[in-house]
Amino acid sequence: MDTAFFLRWIAVVTERVRAERDHLTDLDRAIGDADHGVNLDRGFTAVEEALAGRSPETPADVLTTTGTTLIRKVGGASGPLYGTLFRTLGRSVGDVAEVSREALAEAFAQGLAAVMKLGSAQEGDKTMIDALAPAIPEMRTSFDAAARAALDGARATTPLLARKGRASYLGERSIGHQDPGATSMAIVIDALRAA
Amino acid sequence: MVGIVLVSHSAGLAEEAAALAVGIAGEDAPIRPAGGTEDGDLGTSLTKLEEAVAEVDQGDGVVLIMDLGSAVLTARAFVEDRADVVLADAPFVEGAVNALVTAGTGAPLDAVVAAAEEARTIGKLC
């Protein structure tokens, strides 16, 4: 996968986050503070502008620019979390023109570790990690399998008790709602198929 | 002097907490608020955080005291590249006061962090 692939991936994520903005915000209204869709849309719109202004020449440049812009522009907790994921992806793929699916899966594994450390979160805490973690081993097989695993992981957050993030303040009342962060993470991973 | 930055979801909360700390502890050490998004909404701005750190940085290190959620995550992401900026795991208001009192004595970075974190153990009703 070359620079153009990664630019298409981010463009598809941006488009889908925009289309799903109200849905993500509604999910966040149930167990959070009703800003997840709005925040991510603002962040990826800023990413779109940053990438257009920069004309990145490597996959790492696309990924690092995306991450740095998200940290700077989102304003909510998803900014540093997604920003750290994309920056770690950029650092991990390194200064190359082409990235294999295996190398990207390895980069995602490092990204997962960085996000877990930043958020002090584990699988099963009802966070974006519940969509991200199961997708990574599947990514070595295909993006289709990774997308299915991410979607299943996001759906499986519904019965969970939130242990991290704003939803954790709700305790038992967080049960019965799909996690907005896991839902947006499934969008991000699913977009790899369309890139 | 060690500098202190108060990182909050809310611009008003960060400003008033800094003002309260200065009112109690004096202004011997520098303290600045970094609260809210650039648009003035609830949230955290990396740009505001960077500016505040630059303002209080006198070369002896900077302590960040956060309220919750995105403030903690933004501060954590920020210090990844900055060994001279340290996070204090402390209550926001009491930690700010303790840190400013200690920083004002000319104490080193680790002592200021320890003072802020000590505020966790001080009860209000006992």
How confident is the model over A157-171, as pLDDT tens digits?
999 999 998 889 898
Query: What are B93's two structure tokens?
Result: 């208001």
Q: What is the identity of the amino acid at A29?
A: R
**Closest Cα to residue A184, out of A154, A158, A164?**
A154
pLDDT at A92 over 90: yes
Which residues of chain A lie closer than 8 angstroms to B44, CB-CB? 75-76, 79
Establish whether B9 is a catalytic residue. yes
C-beta atoms of A71 and B77 within 8 A: yes
Sheet holding B62-66, edge to edge: B31-35, B3-8, B62-66, B85-88
CA B35, B38, B44, B50 torsion-angle sign: negative
C-beta atoms of B77 and A80 within 8 A: yes
Which residues of chain B lie closer than 8 angstroms to A35, CB-CB? 43
pLDDT at A178 over 90: yes
Query: In terms of DSSP H, where are the helices of A100-142?
Result: 101-119, 129-139
CB A77 within 8 A of CB A36: no
CB B67 within 8 A of CB B91: no
Predicted pLDDT of residue A2: 97
CB A136 within 8 A of CB A112: yes
Task: Pick left, alpha or beta for residue A169 (phi over 0 → left; psi -120 to 50 → alpha; otherwise beta).
Answer: alpha
CA dist A109 and A116 (Å) reads 11
How confident is the model over B36-94, as pLDDT tens digits?
998 888 889 999 999 999 999 999 999 999 998 889 999 999 998 899 999 999 999 99
Predicted pLDDT of residue B86: 98
Catalytic site residue from B2, B6, B9, B100: B9
Element (H, E) at B5: strand B3-8
CA trace torsion A74, A78, A81, A84 (10° rounding): -20
Chain A residue nearest residue B50, CA to CA? A72
The CATH number of the domain covering residues in A3-190: 1.25.40.340
Query: In terms of DSSP H, where are the helices of chain A?
Result: 3-19, 21-31, 36-54, 59-73, 78-93, 101-119, 129-139, 143-155, 180-194
**Closest Cα to residue A114, out of A61, A148, A63?**
A63
Domains of chain B with CATH codes = 3-121 (3.40.50.510)
Predicted pLDDT of residue B124: 86
Predicted pLDDT of residue B122: 87
CA distance A73 to chain B (A): 7
